[in-house]
Structure 1
Amino acid sequence: MPIARSVLFATGLFLTLVLGGVGFIAATISWDRSVVIEAGPKAGFFYETGDGLARHLSAEGVDVELTSRDDTLNIIESVQDPDNPVNVGFIAQKIDAANYPNVTSLGSIELEPLLLFARTDLGANLSVSDLEGRSVWMQVKGSGFDQLASEVFDAYDLDVEPRYGTLNEGILSVRRGETDVVGVLFPVHTPIVRQLAADPQLTLVDIATTEALASEIGYVRSLTIPPGLLDIAGSVPSGPLHTVGVPVTVVAREDLPAAITLQIASRLQDQFGSPSSTVQGTTFPNFMDLQLSANTVA
């Protein structure tokens, strides 16, 4: 099925399930009004979205707790575990759905591009092949960036020197000249992405042949970021930037109360129901990430 048709189908499916949930909710009202949302680092998109969702649910009378962790690959482990209070979270990663029978998808809300920022003294118009032998800040082990960047470097058979720690530590290390590259896996509108794009000490690294790369990795999509999208004043990027991106999907334990599930789905539609700035013809929320089954209420 062509990408445009598959995206329209996924978006239509999302809207159908949301509307269908209205009828379902009338027959399955739950009086459990509590939710624990687990997100990523506070500078990232998971936390930004989780915070907005928590505020919305709290205003609707839901008892909400928001937690964060740097090893974002393990958020889904928390949601899966019936003994863990976390029942809502986020994924932007490769998973084996067979390991998460208790977890369902509430829809994908954005596409996170892999963005690599190198020190400008390494040269201009850098491509990923120029990173051979360079030190790369991979964030913490178990982060989504660590997973995807490692797969990209492996695909290009690159030998890089990985360094680990928080994103803030990595940014400082690059600015001090101690590390060559720092990267993020956040949507283009995230404040930290804008800050890095506007930093005169940093330059973006282009990733070539992304269609083939996306096909090899499997759970990502080829992306081209238009000139100036990250920083209009500084014309960043100066030309089309090629990379890959992974869908951000909101996930929930299957026993999440139907009333809360519908409230979350409605909030996601209100907040993210617009065309993507990075993927032409794509509108969120949708079910483009097919790794998990769609929640029957969302």
Structure 2
Amino acid sequence: MQVLKQAALFVRTNLWIIPLGLLLGWALIRYLDPAPPRVLVMSTGSETGGYHRFGLALQERLAEQGLTLELRSSRGSLDNLQHLLDPDSSVSIALVQSGTSLLLTPAEQRRLVGLAALYHEPLWLFQRKGLEITHLDDLRSLKVSVGSEGSGTWAVVRSLFQARDDESRLLELNGGAWQALAGRASLDALREGTLDAAFFVLPASNALIAEMVANPELELVSLRQTEAFSARLPFLDTLQLPEGLLDIGANVPAEPISLLSPVATLVANERFHPALTSLVLEAAREVLREGNLLDKPGAFPAAQPLELTLSPEADFYHRQGVPFLQRYLPFWVASIVDRYVVLVIPFIAIMLPLLRSMGPLYRWRIRSRVYRWYEQLRRIDRLLHSGAIAGELEREIQALHQLEDELSRVDVPLSYAHELYSLHLHVRYMIKRLEGLRTQAG
């Protein structure tokens, strides 16, 4: 029974910690990041294009991990960027050709983050056979297609002319001698002879590249100054196309070709849950594992080249790989553990000192049941010291006897009994002292 009483006292003394703990837990949960969604919306490109094919492969990989990837077709990179920036859109990630985001305002660029470079999409310049194009200056007197305005091809070509401080020539289409045509229209015009040369930004596996390579009237141009351009434009790589790479039987190209190449990049907005970064990038790594004609196996996804700021989670992935927990646990389990570790650590850090205070509070509560009576003894002591006790002797002696009776009913744990009995001795001492004064006065 005694143990139960003391346990009840201990609980009553520390009841305050329960609402405090609940309040703290609520606050931490309230500001904890929400769980990652099970559905992700991605903007790709035309349903017959390479971006959409990559999206389908990524969709299949993510489905194996329990994440549904919904694909939205679009007109291309610039359209994808607009989907990302549209507050009413459900798109949270998109495929964007590097360099295209330079068409956005700085404020719009700050709303987006880069996740990874995925694969090279070279800038191809094909000419009619017999021409000798080696520099951009050689295009001034020719009929050239520079890509449809707002397209990925247009964005890269525009960057090249900006680097030369000659952007106005492009914007004015060289006084009307150049045309802003899409890929298929450019190829048709080259075949018909209404164009002398045309720019294309396409992966090496694209059917248009195969058609141009097979056409004996067309030649692939090897531009000079590619290293200079890539040094000034970090979102471009310089690629060396070895002899015969595109068609080893026909030996196309007949000699090594130097190309500038943007890359397909994965871009996200504020709607993208950062916890999904490693899951998406690991799935992309599986899709790209085998590489292609231009990219070695395992080269992508990569952190560069990107013109947008790399997200912190993507930066961690590219430097250290999959987070520790995800190496040993399924993603969704690791995500829950990771989120609640973030919750538990500050909870423990705050609650541990509070829990440690429970013992001292209990001791204070027990001792206060004893020490509060000392105030009466101190008061009598002050009366004795001031000499004002004479008229109060009987009343104070009677009060001390009552105090003795009350102390006999005070219940404290055995470990604190010595303090209670010390008080008994002090009360008895004061009674004898007052009784001695009463005898002297009588």
* TM-score scaled by length of structure 1: 0.76
Question: Residue 147 of structure 1 corresponds to which residue in structure 2?
Answer: 155
Find the residue that maps to 1:249 and give its secondary structure.
Answer: strand
CA distance in 1, matches of 2:159, 2:179: 16
Task: Name whichever of 28-37 and 195-204 sits farther off.
Answer: 28-37
Task: Name the SS for the 1:168 alignment partner.
Answer: helix
Distance 2:38 2:67 in 1: 8
Aligned length: 269
| Equivalent pair of 1:47/1:68 in contact (CA under 8 Å) | no
Residue type matched to 2:54 in 1?
T
Q: Which runs of 4+ in 1 moved over 6 A?
A: 279-282
Higher relative contact order (CA 8 A, sep 6+): 1
The offset of 1:168, in angstroms, is: 1.5
Distance between the aligned counterparts of 1:267 and 1:193, measured in 2? 28
Q: Distance in 1 between matches of 2:303 and 2:94?
A: 16
| Mean Cα deviation higher: 237-246 or 34-43 | 34-43
| 2:112 pairs with 1:103 | yes
| CA distances 1:185-218 after superposition (whole Å, capped 9, x unpaired) | 1222333323322222311112102111222334
Q: Paired residue for 2:302?
A: 286
More deviation, 168-177/268-277: 268-277
String of CA shifts for 1:113-153, please: whole Å, max 9, x gaps. 11011122xx1554244322222222321111112123335
> Structure 1 stretch 275-284 or stretch 95-104: which is displaced more?
275-284
Cα distance change on mapping 1:28 and 1:189 into 2, 3 Å: farther
Alpha-carbon spacing, 1:257–1:213, altered in 2? closer, same or farther (3 Å):
closer
Aligned counterpart, 1:131: 139
User: Normalized per residue, which structure has more strand?
Assistant: 1
Q: Are 2:222 and 2:257, in contact at CA under 8 Å, matched by a contact in 1? A: yes
Unmatched 5+ stretches in structure 2: 1-31, 315-442
Are the equivalent residues in 2 in contact too, given 1:104–1:292 (CA < 8 A)?
A: yes
Pair 88,278 (structure 1): closer, same or farther in 2 beyond 3 Å: same
Q: Tell whether the 8 Å contact from 1:276 to 1:282 is kept in structure 2 after alignment.
A: no
How far, CA to CA, are the matches of 2:156 and 2:288 in structure 1? 24
Partners of 1:117 and 1:203 within 8 A in 2: yes
Q: 1:243 to 1:229 in 2, by over 3 A?
A: same
Alpha-carbon distance in structure 1 between the residues aligned to 2:45 and 2:193: 27
Change (3 A) 1:171 1:205: same
Asked if residue 78 in structure 1 is aligned to residue 94 in structure 2, the reply is no
Matches within 5 A, 1:140-289: 140-153=148-161, 155=164, 160=174, 161-257=177-273, 260-273=276-289, 277-278=293-294, 283-289=299-305
Shift of residue 61, structure 1, vs aligned partner? 5.5
Looking at structure 2, the residues matched to 238 and 176 of structure 1 have their Cα atoms a distance apart, in angstroms, of 24
CA contact (8 A) 2:190 2:196 kept: yes
Aligned to 2:329: none
One-letter identity of the residue aligned with 2:73? T
Match of 2:73 among 46, 67, 74: 67
TM norm structure 2: 0.54
CA distance in 2, matches of 1:131, 1:212: 18
Higher helix share: 2
Task: Check 1:153–1:297 CA distance in 2 against 1; reply closer, same or farther (3 A cut).
Answer: closer
Q: 1:58 to 1:131 in 2, by over 3 A?
A: same
CA–CA separation in structure 2 for the residues paired with 1:173 and 1:226 = 28
CA contact (8 A) 1:274 1:283 kept: no
**AA of the residue aligned to 1:103:** L
Matches of 2:184 and 2:208, distance apart in 1: 10
Looking at structure 1, the residues matched to 147 and 48 of structure 2 have their Cα atoms a distance apart, in angstroms, of 13
Structure 1 pair 44/133, CA: closer, same or farther in 2 (3 Å)? farther
Contact 2:117–2:300 (CA<8 Å) still a contact in 1?
Answer: yes
Whole-Å separation in 2 of the counterparts to 1:177 and 1:148: 24
Aligned to 1:40: 45
CA gap 1:54/1:264 in 2 versus in 1, 3 angstroms? same
